[in-house]
Amino acid sequence: MSKVNDVVIKVATVNGTGSASANGLLMKSIFRMGIPVVGKNFFPSNIQGLPTWYEVRVTGDGHQSRADRIDVMIAMNAQTYERDMAEVTPGGWLIYDSTWPRSKLLDRKDITVLGIPLSRMCNERFDGVRARILMKNIAYVGAIAALLDIDLDVIKTLLEQTFASKKHLVASNLEAIMLGYNYAQEQFDCPLPPRLEAMDKTKGHIIVDGNTAAGLGCVYAGATVGAWYPITPSTSVMDAYKSFCKQYRMDEETDGKKFCIIQAEDELAAIGVVLGASWNGARAFTPTSGPGISLMSEFIGFAYYAELPAVIFDIQRTGPSTGMPTRTQQCDLMSCAYASHGDTKHVLLFPANPEECFYMAVNAFDLADRLQTPVMVLSDIDIGMNDWMCPDLKWDENYQPDRGKVLNAEQIESMEKFYRYLDVDGDGIPYRTLPGEHPKGAFFTRGSGHNKYGGYTEDSHEYQEVVDRLLVKWETARKIVPEPEIAYSKFNKTAIVSLGSCDGAVKEALSILEEKNIGLNYCRIKAFPFGDAVRDFIDQHDEIYVVEQNRDAQLRSLLMLDAGIPQTKIQPMLHYNGMPLDASFVVDSVLAEIAKGRAA
Residues 13-52 that bind other proteins (CB under 8 A): 28, 31-32
- Render 7-37 in DSSP notation, one character per residue: EEEEEEEETTSSHHHHHHHHHHHHHHTT--E
Examine residue 397 and tell whether it contacts other proteins (CB under 8 A).
yes
Residue 43 and residue 20: Cα distance in Å, rounded?
Answer: 11
Return the number of the residue (104 or 394) whose C-beta is nearest other proteins: 394
| Binding test (CB under 8 A) with other proteins, winner from 68, 151, 298, 562 | 298
| Binding test (CB under 8 A) with other proteins, winner from 148, 270, 367, 368 | 270
Half-sphere exposure of 409 (CA within 13 A, CB side): 5
| Binding test (CB under 8 A) with other proteins, winner from 400, 414, 517, 568 | 400
Residue 350 and residue 330: Cα distance in Å, rounded?
Answer: 10
Q: In Å, what is the CA distance from 566 to each residue of 557, 558, 561, 562? A: 10, 11, 9, 11
> Site for other proteins (CB under 8 A): how many residues?
82
CB-CB neighbours of 489 under 10 Å: 16
Shortest distance in whole angstroms from residue 447 CB to other proteins: 6
Interaction pattern, residues 150-189, with other proteins; x per rule: CB under 8 A: ----------------------------------------
Report the phi/psi class of residue 91: left, alpha or beta, with left for phi > 0 and alpha for psi in -120 to 50.
left
Q: Which of residues 243-262 bind other proteins (CB under 8 A)?
A: 244, 247-249, 251, 254-262
Shortest distance in whole angstroms from residue 81 CB to other proteins: 34
| Binding test (CB under 8 A) with other proteins, winner from 51, 60, 233, 272 | 272
Element (H, E) at 391: strand 388-391
Shortest distance in whole angstroms from residue 231 CB to other proteins: 17
Examine residue 268 and tell whether it contacts other proteins (CB under 8 A).
yes
Return the number of the residue (453 or 488) whose C-beta is nearest other proteins: 453
| Binding test (CB under 8 A) with other proteins, winner from 16, 62, 191, 222 | 222
Examine residue 299 and tell whether it contacts other proteins (CB under 8 A).
yes
Q: Which of residues 471-530 bind other proteins (CB under 8 A)?
A: none
Shortest distance in whole angstroms from residue 145 CB to other proteins: 19
Return the number of the residue (353 or 451) whose C-beta is nearest other proteins: 451
Shortest distance in whole angstroms from residue 252 CB to other proteins: 10
Shortest distance in whole angstroms from residue 212 CB to other proteins: 8
Interaction pattern, residues 408-447, with other proteins; x per rule: CB under 8 A: -------------------------xxxxxxx-xxxxxxx
Q: In Å, what is the CA distance from 107 to each residue of 8, 82, 89? A: 21, 9, 14
Residue 263 phi, psi dihedral angles, 5° rounding: -85, 100
Residue 203 and residue 216: Cα distance in Å, rounded?
Answer: 21
Shortest distance in whole angstroms from residue 565 CB to other proteins: 35
Residue 589 and residue 599: Cα distance in Å, rounded?
Answer: 15
| Binding test (CB under 8 A) with other proteins, winner from 45, 322, 448, 540 | 448
| Binding test (CB under 8 A) with other proteins, winner from 359, 453, 474, 488 | 453
| Binding test (CB under 8 A) with other proteins, winner from 208, 214, 231, 352 | 208
Return the number of the residue (231 or 277) whose C-beta is nearest other proteins: 277
Q: Which long-range contacts (C-beta less than 8 Å, at least 24 apart) are formed by 513-521? A: 513/587, 513/590, 514/489, 518/590, 518/591, 518/594, 519/489, 519/490, 519/492, 520/489, 520/492, 520/494, 520/495, 520/496, 520/545, 520/590, 521/486, 521/487, 521/488, 521/489, 521/492, 521/494, 521/495, 521/496
Element (H, E) at 247: helix 235-248
